[in-house]
Amino acid sequence: MLRSRPSRQITQAKHGDGKLVRMVSTADPLSIDASDLRIRRVGEPTLSSPMVRLLRGRASSPHYVHESDRVLLDDTVESAVAHQCAVGDLPSMEPGGPREHIYFDPPRTRAAIVTCGGLCPGLNNVIRGLVLELADNYGVTEVLGFRDGFRGLVDGSPPLRLSHDVVADIHNRGGTILGTSRGGQDPAAMVATLERLGVNLLFVIGGDGTLRGAQRIADEADERGLALSVVGVPKTIDNDIPFIDQSFGFQTAFTRATESIKSALTEASSTPNGVGLVKLMGRHSGFIACYAALASHDVDFVLIPEVPFLLDGPAGFLAALRRRVASRGHAVVVVAEGAGQELFAYDGAVDASGNARLADIGPLLRDRMVADFAAAGTELTVRYVDPGYAIRSVPANGWDAVYCLRLAQAAVHAAMAGRTAMVVGRWHGRFVHLPIALATGSRNQVDPDGDLWMSVLEATGQPARFS
Ligand code: F6P
């Protein structure tokens, strides 16, 4: 198949001058071909599925994709045409959902769940959804929960037995009942534990680093000839996993962030020349900042990692802020934590997940605003609001609760059918299976030429660039 454009690759690099610079990284569907989308299996599904009772008479429709059908990767005519191939050869994804045949025999199947990385609203919903789907619809009652991330697969701590009772009301709570941690572990040691405990299905809930770890587990099991299905449920409040419409917990997180924006606006508009500055999570992707700003529709400026900006000069951010305060009497600025990293020298520090430790843009902006207004002889009161972890430690809202449950159901269907080294996600409104390699091979970012950023520019009235 034609590969007409190279894949645009991952985020950031260190420049010769020691500064952390942004690189465009959204994966380009035109660079993807059928082999990138193939889903691995631990074996052929030959057993009749208990879900058959719900599948009779189902055929692909606007509301359902049959297991023999495929979901197209591209959703515009131009991009489909650009592949220059027959319609049946267009890059496409395996649909999620129950299959008529499964690989694992439910009474002889043992599942396990692990949650890794930072918190995200809905983790407990996914855990509960997995446990109940396995038990109630497939008859798999042996479900273990590893504690504290991948660490729990190697440190000898006994896993939690996840029964109906244990998960009864966990979906009403934030966090994860299993605990979580950052950092990978030796795949051989993790697979040894899984083999010793007789685990056949492993559900891994985590971000890109975690999912790479899940891939290594699947590969190690494969090398040992172990029939272990490893299925991921991508987790990131930053919404930065590619080929997924939206990640679970994201809606809850940006909705919670709007409360901080409201507070900042109240403060800013109650004082002469007030500026409310709100810093929100978003390491390399500014989705939370954009969506929270749009949901509030009260924000004057949004600064995100994908759109570098200059502070000084007549076309810089500080001059634009002074003009806005002069015309409206106050202003609200939302900044994603990863924005403006080009303004700092980067020391190369990374966290346990291998993520770059970012410099703190919030205080820098606040200090530069104060200095700039003072130099211009203009009064200014800055109210700095950093909700930090508050936006991700809350329980899932209704929308995310539904999404988490449906992702969990799709993950169980995939694992029982013997799929492995994959994640479940929703793409163009359809539940799909995505190889882990594709989900971790690039990063979803706000496209400075895309319609989300356009909406932000329309809503805020800020210039397209501060340069
Ligand atoms: O990766 C998601 C995220 O929420 C980022 O936006 C943020 O930088 C990071 O987690 C912080 O998490 P922690 O302090 O737990 O490493």
Q: Which residue is it, tokens 């051989």?
A: 188
d(CA 320, CA 467): 11
- Ligand 1 atom 15: the closest Cα is on which residue? 118
- Ligand 1 atom 8: the closest Cα is on which residue? 283
Q: Is 92:74 a contact under the CB 8 Å cutoff? A: no
Please give the backbone phi and psi of residue 13, each rounded to the nearest 5 degrees, phi first. Answer: -140, 160
Query: Which of 119-133, 154-168, 180-194, 343-357 is least confident?
Result: 343-357
Q: Which of 155, 165, 169, 238 is catalytic?
A: 238
Q: Which residue is it, tokens 């699947």?
A: 218
CA distances from 365 to 38, 112, 298 (A): 46, 45, 19
Query: Which of 75-84, 213-222, 404-413 is least confident?
Result: 75-84
**Residue 141 confidence (pLDDT):** 94
The Å distance, Cα 129 to ligand 1 centre, comes to 24
- State yes or no: is 238 an active-site residue: yes
CA distances from 402 to 122, 167, 173, 233, 421 (A): 10, 16, 15, 14, 24
d(CA 220, CA 229): 12
If phi > 0 it is left, if psi is from -120 to 50 it is alpha, else beta; for residue 117 that is left
pTM above 0.75, yes or no: yes
d(CA 396, CA 435): 26
Mean pLDDT of the chain: 93
**Residue 189 confidence (pLDDT):** 98
Contacts for 432 with CB less than 8 Å, ≥ 6 apart: 71, 93, 94, 95, 96, 424, 425, 426
**Residue 413 confidence (pLDDT):** 98
CA distances from 134 to 229, 299, 410, 441 (A): 14, 45, 11, 30
Distance of CA 184 to the CA centre of its chain: 18
| Residues of the chain above pLDDT 90, percent | 87
Contacts for 56 with CB less than 8 Å, ≥ 6 apart: none
CA dihedral 75, 292, 282, 320 (to 10 degrees): 110
Pocket of ligand 1 (CB under 6 A): 118, 207, 236-238, 281-283, 337, 351, 392
